[in-house]
């Protein structure tokens, strides 16, 4: 019998705990240790029955894991990834890969120089819904994709910000923490983004970040995207509130992405394809939707399975450090444009 793959987690907060649950649900992997200096992390480690350590280097030394999941606050991602890469340890870094493209580049350079696989935690790509949407778009059913609309609106309670002070600090606003997921999915579904214009409104609850932002993206294909994000709007339209990935968000039956093509349009995550029933597109003809049924599966668990295959079978990371960097480059462009009021061009070589 093959031995299970030994994984460790650095940072046992909100998402670190979900990784621990995902590891418990995925056969063939085992959580051998966690590092988290906070008392709450230590208490959680004891509850899970997993050895606890105060720091990442100490944990690596003691448990000798085969792969590490970095689920610490974003400002620590790059430094912790470098600790792992230095020890030739494959790493799954939560999104975003780093706080800036320049910082993330150090991770890419170190990983490529040492040949260590890095996976960035854009877990929504492992959702079967997204796999199906990708298949629909690449099959050409929609014709040429001309426009995309994404809505990421929800209301985070004050307790969310009070629980972890870094969430109120500069750089941890909803563009960086939430829209990064949507940008990653839209890049995956519609291709590279080459330019961005954005506007943001400062938080009305005293955080150092925006609490509403709107961005206009131009894709390499010529398609245009409009995205809005807010953590201060009470609404049902976001991936979180519609995709049923995480039970902590009570689900609605709404959609949050509209992808418009020259022959048909797709709404997600309800996976409905709207067309003029096989006839030539014409606004004077009836239009109706076909629902594409898709089995649900937890993308975090599927991501852990993939991380195991990256570690043990040498499978190429589905979302590599470079891929995570391209998504971060778009986020950085949105933040930059919102600050200066200028359009920001994104060159292919920027990540």
Ligand X SMILES: NC(=O)c1ccc[n+]([C@@H]2O[C@H](COP(=O)([O-])OP(=O)(O)OC[C@H]3O[C@@H](n4cnc5c(N)ncnc54)[C@H](O)[C@@H]3O)[C@@H](O)[C@H]2O)c1
Cα-only R_g, the chain: 20
Residues 159-188 that bind ligand X (CB under 6 A): 164, 177
* CB nearer to ligand X: pick between 38 and 315: 38
Our CB check for ligand X shows the closer of 101 and 223 to be 101
- The minimum distance between CB 71 and ligand X, in angstroms, equals 5
DSSP H helical ranges for the chain: 14-25, 39-48, 56-63, 77-86, 101-114, 128-139, 158-163, 174, 180-190, 239-242, 299-313, 321-340
Give whichever of 94 and 332 is closer to ligand X, judged by the CB atom. Answer: 94
Q: Which of 81, 123, 271, 308 forms a contact with ligand X (CB under 6 A)?
A: 123
The footprint of ligand X on this chain (CB under 6 A) covers a number of residues equal to 24
Give the C-alpha separation, 348 to 329, whole Å.
10
Cis peptide before 269 (omega within 30 of 0): yes
Of 195, 196, 191, the C-alpha closest to 175 is 196
Q: What distance in Å separates the CA atoms of residue 108 and residue 112, rounded to the nearest whole number?
A: 6
Q: Toward ligand X, which CB reaches closer, 13 or 117? A: 13
Task: Name which of 169 and 218 has its Cβ closer to ligand X.
Answer: 169
Residue (173 or 308) nearer to ligand X, CB = 173
**DSSP letter string, 256-274:** -EEEEESS-EEEETTTEEE
Q: Is 15 in the site for ligand X (CB under 6 A)?
A: yes
Closest to 91 (Cα-Cα) out of 58, 123, 65, 63: 65
**Based on CB atoms, which residue is closest to ligand X, 264 or 301?**
301
- Residue least distant from ligand X (Cβ): 13
Half-sphere exposure for 20 (CA within 13 Å, toward CB): 24
| Contacts (CB under 6 A) with ligand X, residues 236-275 | none
* 94 lies in the site for ligand X, by CB under 6 A: yes
Q: Using CB under 6 A, which residues numbered 302 to 321 contact ligand X? A: none
Judged by CB under 6 A, the stretch of 6-14, 25-33, 84-92, 136-144 that binds ligand X is 6-14
Residue 43 as a binder of ligand X (CB under 6 A): the answer is no
Q: How far is CA 88 from CA 68, 124, 281, in A?
A: 11, 27, 54
Q: How far apart are CA 110 and CA 237, in angstroms?
A: 39
Among 5, 7, 8, 10, binds ligand X (CB under 6 A): 10
Minimum gap (Å) between residue 38 Cβ and ligand X = 3
Residues 256/152, Cβ–Cβ less than 8 Å: yes
Q: Which of 92, 96, 126, 130 has the alpha carbon at shortest distance from 111?
A: 92
Taking CB under 6 A as the binding criterion, the range among 8-16, 61-69, 209-217, 264-272 that sits at the site for ligand X is: 8-16
| 228 touches ligand X (CB under 6 A) | no
Nearest CB to ligand X, comparing residues 63 and 275: 63
Q: How far apart are the C-alpha atoms of 196 and 192, rounded to whole Å?
A: 12
Binding status of residue 12 toward ligand X by CB under 6 A: yes
Q: Which residues bind ligand X (CB under 6 A)?
A: 10-16, 35-38, 41, 56, 71-74, 76, 94-95, 121, 123, 164, 177
């Amino acid at each position: 019998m093959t031995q299970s793959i030994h994984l460790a987690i650095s940072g046992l907060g909100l998402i670190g705990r979900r990784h621990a649950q995902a590891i418990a649900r995925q056969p063939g992997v085992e959580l051998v240790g966690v590092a988290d200096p906070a008392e709450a992390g230590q208490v959680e480690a004891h509850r899970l029955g997993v050895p606890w350590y105060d720091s990442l280097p100490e944990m690596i030394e003691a448990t000798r894991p085969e792969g590490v999941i970095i689920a610490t606050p974003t400002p620590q991602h790059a430094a912790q990834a470098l600790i792992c890469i230095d020890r030739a340890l494959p790493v799954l870094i939560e999104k975003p890969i780093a706080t800036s493209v320049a910082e993330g580049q150090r991770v890419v350079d170190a990983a490529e120089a040492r040949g260590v696989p890095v996976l960035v935690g854009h877990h929504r790509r492992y959702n079967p819904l997204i796999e199906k949407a990708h298949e629909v778009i690449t099959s050409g059913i929609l014709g040429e994709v001309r426009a995309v609309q994404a809505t990421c609106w929800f209301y985070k309670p004050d307790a969310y910000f009070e629980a972890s002070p870094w969430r109120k600090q500069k750089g941890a606003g909803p563009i960086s923490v939430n829209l990064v997921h949507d940008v990653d999915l839209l890049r995956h579904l519609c291709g590279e983004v080459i330019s961005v214009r954005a506007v943001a409104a400062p938080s009305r609850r005293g955080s150092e970040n925006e609490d509403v932002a709107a961005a206009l993206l131009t894709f390499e294909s010529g398609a245009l995207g409009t995205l809005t994000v807010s953590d201060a709007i009470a609404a049902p339209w976001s991936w979180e509130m519609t995709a049923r990935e995480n039970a902590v968000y009570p689900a609605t039956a709404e959609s949050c992405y509209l992808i418009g093509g020259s022959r048909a349009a797709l709404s997600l995550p309800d996976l409905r394809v709207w067309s003029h029933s096989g006839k030539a597109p014409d606004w004077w003809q009836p239009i109706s939707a076909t629902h594409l049924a898709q089995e649900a599966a937890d993308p975090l668990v599927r991501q852990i399975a993939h991380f195991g295959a990256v570690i043990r079978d040498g499978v190429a990371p589905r979302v590599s450090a470079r891929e995570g960097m391209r998504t971060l480059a778009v986020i950085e462009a949105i933040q930059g444009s919102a600050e200066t009021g200028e359009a920001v061009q994104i060159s292919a070589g920027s990540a």
